[in-house]
Structure 1
Amino acid sequence: MSFRLRACAAVVAGVLAATAANADTLSIDASAATPAPLAAALRLGSATAPNGDTLGANARYLTRNGAPWLPIMGEFHYSRTPASMWEAELRKMKAAGINIVASYVMWNHHEEVEGKFDWSGNRDLRRFVQLATEAGLDVVVRVGPWVHAEVRYGGIPDWVINAMPSRRNDPQYMAFVDRLYQQIGQQIKGQLWKDGGRVIGIQLENEYNLDGPDQGAAHISALKKLALKAGMDVPYYTVTGWDGTIYPSGEVTPVFGGYPDEPWGVSTKELPPKETYAFRFDTRVSGDLGAQTAAHAPGTAETDKDVTPFLGAEYGGGLPFMYRRRTVVSADDIASMLPVQLGSGVNLMGYYMFHGGRNPLGIGGTGMEESTLSGGYNDTTMISYDFQAPLGPDGQQRKVLEKLRPFHLFTQAFGAKLAPMTVRKPEVSPTKPDDLKTARFAVRSEGDRGFLFVNNHVRQYPMAAQKATQFAVKLPGQTITLPSQPVDIADGAYFIWPLNLDLDGTKLRYATAQPVTLLDQGKAGLLAVFAAIPGVPVELSFDEGTHASADGAQITTGGNQTLITGVRPGAGVAVTVHRDGKPPLTIVVLTPEQSQQLSVVRLAGQRRLLLSADQAYVDDNALQMRSVGDSKFRFALYPALPSAPKATTTGAAWTGKPVTATVAVQAADNDGIFQVFEATLPAHDVKVSVTQTRNATDAAPVAIGGNAKAAMQPLPENFKAAGAWQINVPREQLRGLDDALLQIDFVGDIGRLYSGTRMLDDWYYSGYQWQFGLKQQAALLDKPLTVSVLPLRADAPIYLPKEARPDFGGARQMAKVRGVTVVPVYQLRVNP
């Protein structure tokens, strides 16, 4: 080292030491040895595929071909979505970073009338599983028979409920369950992992905490035997593990969940801070998740904590609207749960829901939803099952998906490293969920490597900014203090930072940016992509002696590290690490906004990074893109394509057959390392006419009662008070569009959309945007649609977000349609 460099290092070290003395250092001891995972006491099913691929589990994590595996699972209900949409929607889920698709089999959707099973059309489970397999997704089939899912009687048909006891080993009931399972077994026969298929798991029952004669563990054990009898021999058998669940230890694995609010609650006010945003160090059970039955003692999941892996199935990808409580969540409300759950030890992140849907109507157009009218605890909309999910009922991509995807890419790239790591508790952590001042963080580590997880977001409550903060993580043989200078962690911030991350033989001591993904460039070396954290300067620390270059950044050496500060986030190369005898290590640090537009796709025979604000997925080696409301497409790829791409667009069959047209793709100036393309389709300005045809009259007072002893949805005859508006959308205006989203902006209690007397959709007013895709109902547009709005009473004892609470101006009620628009959805197919 030259004298000048030594002097520079000494000055920097002095400045850092002086600055650190004034910092608030958050300490955590992760130096204890990481114990080897115990062999899980689980009786798995057949776990070897014909090609030799294996699945397994120990007491800490899942394995795939013997290696640690940390997948992401998303719930998508096939019977709530038109079958014509399944293929594209499953591929969208794959593009969003989902590895496993889970779906309930809702018994009453298949056997509404005793003995008459329907596995056709939107109920074709076999076809759904086949399409998931083609999309590259594993499948977990949640067979019930009681599933909840906000379905009447939890999905058990009326004729069963009316005639016999359910959810227990009653001989008559179990005979019908046996028949149902035989039917499901036939549907997925040949699609199981042992057959070379992708069905890897079966979930039995749901939210089961009943105990007593013919109930409890004996019932779950009997259900598993019936599943095996029906041929459902799979690697994993699960049960939901919350609210005092009871199951036969060793026969099934509990899966957990958590939601950012309780729409099933009875409060008409904001709830206290939810524990979903607090790291879990002592238990996996996240409070009340809305089980329909009450437990009287701790469940099996609590006593099994040390012998089963921490798996998730129902972390809220959104929330449903229930009549008495209409919670609206933001993208950050959902995404901030990721570092909390991963940092708490979760080794399967499962969402409920990831894709919204709509309930089918029963015989005679009756609703099949959970309702107080049929003795249910909750009132839910008859048709809509939007759930504020990352993918809407019509396949629209929502902001929450963009916030989640960087975490999904992280688990794909680094999950094998993270899964074996154990959770380390800070010296000081919040003792209660309503502690909004104490820093919330955790470390998962194994040996001298780990990840730091931080969350400073709690829904509806401001968190104290962590001023002038540094973290001191004690690892075997060293303590890493980061950042080099204290930073403020703002209210709302949440992120993951690496500790001693091995990047193809180069040790990254730490980074104040979140690792996102890796791209193996062969002879060109490894490309590592990070995401900057809003308001936090980016710095990267390597072992001392690392030879690096960084345009526009500062590099200092000393104190056993090579420190790079002043890194400017963007799409260009931030840092290059030069390595003797090996290809270089290239690091890109994207801006927060760019990281939310990033996905990884396989095009023209290799993995590529894709940056685009438009929805994108791969189908048959082509890039399928959708843009909502904007006819201009812009996308950027790295590495560059070998030749200029070509593009086409094909609109839906609004009138006659769809027509495919060629679209010019223009190369734009490169953005950093990315090759940029643009394309523009003809813009559509869809005109809608709206005419009020019926005035609202006085709505009846909201009744209190039901099992929850709270506000109940109005009786059917009370809808005579609804006002009505006629909507005309000429089909001809939609020619060339992939879809068109009807947006109804109304204020009232309940809105319903009709074609004649046929209900198409319904919505509880909450301030959240109501959208309805017209593509699936194109033939109905030749006649006007009708939206009816039941008045919202000023004295309605329901919860509405304060932002959506209307100003009644002294009036007793309100029912109005403020506007109806149609948002065009454009489609572009890019062939590399």
Structure 2
Amino acid sequence: MKTITLFSVLALSTSIVFSQNYQIDAPEKWISIRSEHIKMGGIAPDGSSIEVNNFYMLRNGIPIIPIMGEFHYSRYPANQWEQEILKIKAGGINVVATYVFWNLHEEIEGEWNWTGNRNLRQFIRICQRYGMDVIVRIGPFAHGEIRSGGLPDWLFTKNIDVRSNDAEYLTYTNKLYKEIANQLEGLYYQDGGPIIGCQIENEHQHSAAPWAICYKGETAIDYTAASYDKGITKFGVSVQEAKIKRAELGNEHMRTLLDMAKKAGINTPLYTTTGWGNAAIIPGEAIPVTAGYTYATWVPRNQKSEFCLFKNLWQEPDYSPVRYNPTDYPSASAEMGVGIQIGYAIRPVCTAEAAEALMVRTLGGGSNIIGYYMYHGGSTPRMQNNGDFLSDQPVGLPKISYDFQAPLGEFGLENVQYRPLRILHYFLNHFGNRLAPMQPVMPTNVGTLMPDNRDELRYAARMNSAGEGFLFLVNSQDHDSLRHDLTNLRITINLPKEHLTIPEGNGFTLPKNTSVILPFNFQMDGALLKYATAQPLMVIDDHGTPHYFFSVPNGMSPAYAFDPTTIKGKARFTGIQPGFQSTFCVKLRGGKSIKVTTLSHEQALNASCIEGKLLVTKASVLAKGDGRVKLLQLGNSVFDYVLYPSRQGFKPVKVAVDTVPTEAKVVESVPWRTEVTFNADASNTPQVNEYFLKVHYIGDLALAFIDNKLVHDHFWQGKPWLIGLNRYAEKMAAGKPMGFYFRPLRANAPFLEDLEASLLPDFSSGPVLEIKKCVIVPEYTTTVVLSSY
């Protein structure tokens, strides 16, 4: 409910200030938690446990909200896995999900390859070393924008009905599962290992991939689906409008695959299946997971998504209808597309604001398991047998690049979503145990708001019967650059025992293109925070005193209101300027105290929690848990950071490493082609973690070659092309130049409307190709020893 109330008349102006009053009511009936219908869970050798009920997961009896990040081991060099897993962990992710692509491991029937960047076992061991749980997605069908959805080419030669209970198909699948089980032996949760889950198949009776062998102009593309599913399978994630005529066969196939996996030895506490779009599931024995893509390339171009609008996702999953009772399972939004894989004809640019809105909306809607596809991009390898490309070529994807505009990109660099999402992840890491049991509550406007609406507040709440909870607010929308600040907002929460209005007095501003989570009746070690117009970030032990850190978006004023019966002295804190200097102390009735600091938005973006300390730095952070922190910084050899608590307090520390001279030598440059040489080996410059080649150009696309072999490709989106050189260092050090082929950009290119007009060149003289410069950018590194502070 929303009302507009005259708040005050300005004495020196004719302007009238209105407050926009919104309301939300506590539910009349609270959720009944039950688990008797769910046959999942497990116990580790040390006695720790995983449980699942119909609303949330528990670890050792404590509610949790797992945060999953997809990272494909086979799409990244094995000698860099450790570094990238540490980056993923530093982003607040605690579960790594990864596909096992069948066609990468059995290119030739009967010949299995689990070496190099196909070494699944080694990848999982590294995850285990750094305390990262793992969910293995075993197929047999994966999709994943890879050739034939991961099904090997040699299946073409068999007279079988793929993705069905065809006996011969199951025989081949059983061999796959046994091979995977051999790789995973001893690494399961019940063995003390990190593997807590397994996904069976993918998007069964919902989506398929085109078989790799098809030709331009074909009107009936052959999809990788069972014969009885032809005509109803989708290419991308979407609502299923068609009736699935043989749903019982899909359910039977999923059940068969689960039984085969268990018999092969793949036994995990959790199993998952695709839940969206009426896909086939396994009732009671696998959690159905859902998805959401704000920049989907398979919907009409520039269409505003509904994924920045709130709804009760526990009761009504995205891409409904679904083939299960949603309230029987936790809402698992496990494939959140904060990025997207671009294709030749469509190249949307994903924004951080849309990613943040998607996830605040998803958590506010009741999701208690979240995950990202992709969280870390990569490069699709070639087939080792014949050198052919393994990317999904029939739909016009890059041959190699699988950056996906993910929070961590193809070469491990942060994309724009990484840090805003990290703020949310730290909130969940520190306070998710409180949020998980809280019921989602929607206001009355959720049924009427549309993506084009810029004037009404998008909001929801999660709360429990004791009146504790969080407000979730969104003022962002994908594909919309014309939003405005929402000002003078006041929200009344009608709880069982009180009517709580946030804030008291004047309303607050929710700036455009921002999203935020506000607490109410928030317990802080004995002090009851009635509300704050700031988002909880983390709590650390500050020499025995709990120190709570909050953050606010730029343009939003933090205020805190404590219950005066729980503290001594001042209960209202307003007029706060965010920053390190904002710290205030609240004395408790029992004689103890807590500290509260409100970080600015920039400080929060740069904040990490490392071994119980707050580390604020613009550098990327890698921590092995050994008391040392490795910092990485592209192009800047001077590191600034704040480590708290420490002897310096909030005083910044500056560390400079020696700069290195870099020069990319252009040995040949003719129209459309360029060759560059550079010794990319960083072993002689320990202050450099990796060298990157930055190619400034305007064109349609570019291809990179070494030793007459295509090693990378790039579809232009208006930004420079950054190439990490560690994986090519050996050949470049041997004098092999990196050669490039560029294709001019034409005025009728189909993707131009995806880009900002300011990025487009002048086409008045015809097609445009500008190769501006190639520069080498070092990624500098230094180490911070926490014990020295």
Normalising by structure 2, report the TM-score. 0.88
Alignment counterpart, residue 729 of structure 2, candidates 768, 774, 778: 778
Residue pairs, 1:413-452, within 5 angstroms: 413-429=430-446, 430-447=448-465, 448-452=467-471
CA contact (8 A) 1:95 1:618 kept: yes
The answer to whether the 8 A contact 1:68-1:416 is kept is yes
Q: 1:141 is matched by which residue type in structure 2?
A: V
Give the secondary-structure state (helix, strand or coil) at the position aligned to 2:327. Answer: coil
User: How many correspondences in the alignment?
Assistant: 725
Equivalent position amino acid for 1:243 in 2: G
1:66 matched residue in structure 2: 61
Deviation (angstroms), 1:197: 0.7
Distance in 1 separating the partners of 2:415 and 2:736: 30
1:683/1:21 Cα in 2 relative to 1: closer, same or farther (>3 Å)? closer
Alpha-carbon shift at residue 800 of structure 1 (Å): 4.5
Q: Counterparts in 2 of 1:497-576, with a 5 A limit?
A: 497-521=518-542, 524-547=544-567, 562-572=571-581, 574-576=583-585
2:341 corresponds to which residue? Answer: 320
1:20 Cα deviation after fit: 13
The residue correspondences of 1:189-228 to structure 2 (distance < 5 A) are: 189-209=185-205, 210=229, 212=246, 215-228=249-262
AA aligned opposite 1:57: V
Q: 1:140 to 1:733 in 2, by over 3 A?
A: closer
Q: 1:364 aligns with which of 372, 386, 401?
A: 386
**1:728 alignment partner, one of 677, 685, 695:** 677
C-alpha deviation, 1:675, in angstroms: 5.0
Give how far 1:204 is off.
Answer: 0.9
**Equivalence for 1:453:** 472
Provide closer, same or farther for how the CA distance between residues 545 and 247 of structure 1 changes in structure 2, counting only shifts above 3 A: closer
Q: Is the 8 A contact 2:702 2:713 kept in 1?
A: yes
Secondary structure at the aligned position of 1:306 is classed as: helix
Structure 2 residue 635 is matched with structure 1 residue 629? yes
Give yes or no for contact 1:684–1:733 (8 Å, CA) kept in 2.
Answer: no
SS at match of 1:341: helix
- Bigger Cα displacement from structure 2, 32-41 vs 150-159: 32-41
Match of 2:25 in 1: 29
* Amino acid paired to 1:569: P
Cα distance in 1 for residues equivalent to 2:475 and 2:83: 36
- Percent of counterpart pairs with the same letter? 32
Q: Which residue of 2 aligns with 1:381?
A: 398
Aligned-partner Cα distance in 2 for 1:487–1:732: 53
The CA distance in 1 between the partners of 2:529 and 2:248, in whole Å, is 57
Q: Which residue of 2 aligns with 1:752?
A: 703
Amino acid at match of 1:229: K
Classify 1:453/1:732 alpha carbon distance in 2 versus 1 (closer, same or farther; 3 Å). closer
Summarize the Cα distance change of 1:434–1:615 in structure 2 as closer, same or farther, 3 Å threshold.
same
Deviations 1:251-304 (A, max 9, x none): 211111111111234x4x422x101111122654434xxxxxxxxx9431xx32
Distance 1:21 1:482, change over 3 A: farther
Structure 1 contact 405–596 (Cα < 8 Å) conserved: yes
Contact (CA 8 Å) 1:151, 1:368: kept in 2 or not?
Answer: yes
| Equivalent-residue separation in structure 2 for 1:689 and 1:827 (angstroms) | 24
How many angstroms apart in 2 are the aligned matches of 1:588 and 1:731?
A: 43
Measured against aligned partners, the alpha-carbon deviations of 1:292-340 in whole angstroms (never above 9, x if no partner) come to xxxxx9431xx32111110121101311111121111122221222211
Q: CA deviation at 1:349?
A: 1.2
Taking structure 1 as reference, are residues 626 and 733 closer, same or farther at Cα in structure 2, changes over 3 Å only? closer
Q: Paired residue for 1:38, among 34, 59, 83?
A: 34
Aligned-residue offset at 1:40: 5.8
What's the C-alpha RMSD, in Å, of the aligned pairs?
Answer: 2.3
Aligned residue runs from structure 1 range 111-190, under 5 A: 111-163=106-158, 164-190=160-186
- Read off the aligned partner of 2:614 and give its amino acid letter: L
| Deviation for aligned residue 1:348 | 1.0
1:286 is matched with which residue? 318
Residues 1:814 and 2:768 are matched in the alignment:
yes
Q: Distance in 2 between matches of 1:144 and 1:340?
A: 30
Among 629, 635, 639, the alignment partner of 2:645 is 639
User: Could you tell me which residue of structure 1 aligns to residue 238 of structure 2?
Assistant: none
Q: Is the 8 A contact 1:34 1:421 kept in 2?
A: no
Shift of 1:767: 1.6
Q: Deviations along 1:409-461, whole A, 9 cap, x unmatched?
A: 10011101100111111132343333333210000000210000000000231
* In 1, Cα distance between equivalents of 2:774 and 2:286: 49
Residue deviations 1:110-139, cap 9 Å, x none? 111111111111111111111101111100
Match in the other structure for 1:829: 783
Closer, same or farther in 2 for the Cα pair 1:350/1:331, shift >3 Å? same
Shift of 1:756: 2.8
* Equivalent residue number for residue 332 of structure 2: 311
What residue is the counterpart of 1:616 in the other structure?
621
Deviation string 1:500-558 (CA, Å, 9 cap, x unpaired) is 00111211000001000111346x32111100232121110011245467xxxxx5xxx
Q: Which residue of 2 aligns with 1:375?
A: none
Aligned to 2:214: none
Given that 2:272 and 2:289 are in contact with CA atoms closer than 8 Å, whether structure 1 keeps it comes out as yes
Unmatched 5+ stretches in structure 2: 1-6, 206-228, 230-243
Q: Is the 8 A contact 2:582 2:598 kept in 1?
A: yes
* 1:235 corresponding residue in structure 2: 269
Counterpart CA distance in 2 for 1:445 and 1:85 is 42
> Residue 277 of structure 1 aligns to a residue in which SS?
coil
Q: Which amino acid aligns with 1:504?
A: D
**How far apart are the structure 1 equivalents of 2:760 and 2:415?**
25
TM-score (norm 1): 0.84
Instruction: Name 2:590's counterpart in structure 1.
Output: 581
Amino acid at match of 2:691: A
In the TM superposition, residue 85 of structure 1 has moved relative to its aligned partner by 0.8
Tell me which amino acid in the other structure corresponds to 1:275: E
- Name the SS for the 1:502 alignment partner: strand
Deviation digits for residues 58-90 of structure 1, max 9, x if unmatched? 111011111111111100100001111111111
SS at match of 1:365: coil
